[in-house]
Amino acid sequence: MPYSEFLADRVRSRLKNQPNVEEKKMMGGLIFMVDQKMCIGVDKDRKTGEDRIMVRVGKAVYLPLLEKKGCREMDFTGKPMKGFLFVYSEGIDFEADLDFWVEKALEFNVLAQKSK
């Protein structure tokens, strides 16, 4: 399996009361779309095999959040995608930490909806 079903279930449980959530398999992982916008994803780092989440947080808070435990730039092509972060296990092992990241992704999702 290309991603941790356990981690996907942890994210899924936090989105269960959120309206308009859709799951899509893409990029070797599972993406949770909220209101038709990419919000949060689960996959494994292809180089290390580590579980991680991808969070879409937007450019305004990207740099400060990059300093948090377990965070790395999202980089698929050799060029980091500003506004998106990977968070590895050390940043999401505790429930409160995962709650924090899901909330950040949902906060940006509301802003992304307004900018349509």
Query: For residue range 12-21, what is the model confidence (pLDDT) as tens digits?
Result: 999 999 999 9
> Do residues 18 and 106 make contact, with C-beta atoms less than 8 angstroms apart?
yes
107 vs 27, residue with greater confidence: 107
pLDDT at 25: 94
Cα–Cα distance measured from residue 20 to residue 25, given in angstroms and rounded to the nearest whole number: 17
State the architecture of 5-114 in CATH terms: Alpha-Beta Complex (3.90)
Per-residue model confidence as pLDDT tens digits over 28-57: 899 999 999 999 999 999 899 999 999 999
The Cα–Cα gap between 42 and 25 comes to 10
CA pair distance 95, 47, nearest whole angstrom: 26
Partners of 73 in the beta sheet? 85
pLDDT(90) > 70? yes
Mean pLDDT, range 71-85, rounded to an integer: 89
Residue 67 has pLDDT above 80, yes or no: yes
**Per-residue confidence (pLDDT) for residue 111, from 0 to 100:** 82
Q: Residue 65 in contact with residue 104, Cβ under 8 Å?
A: yes
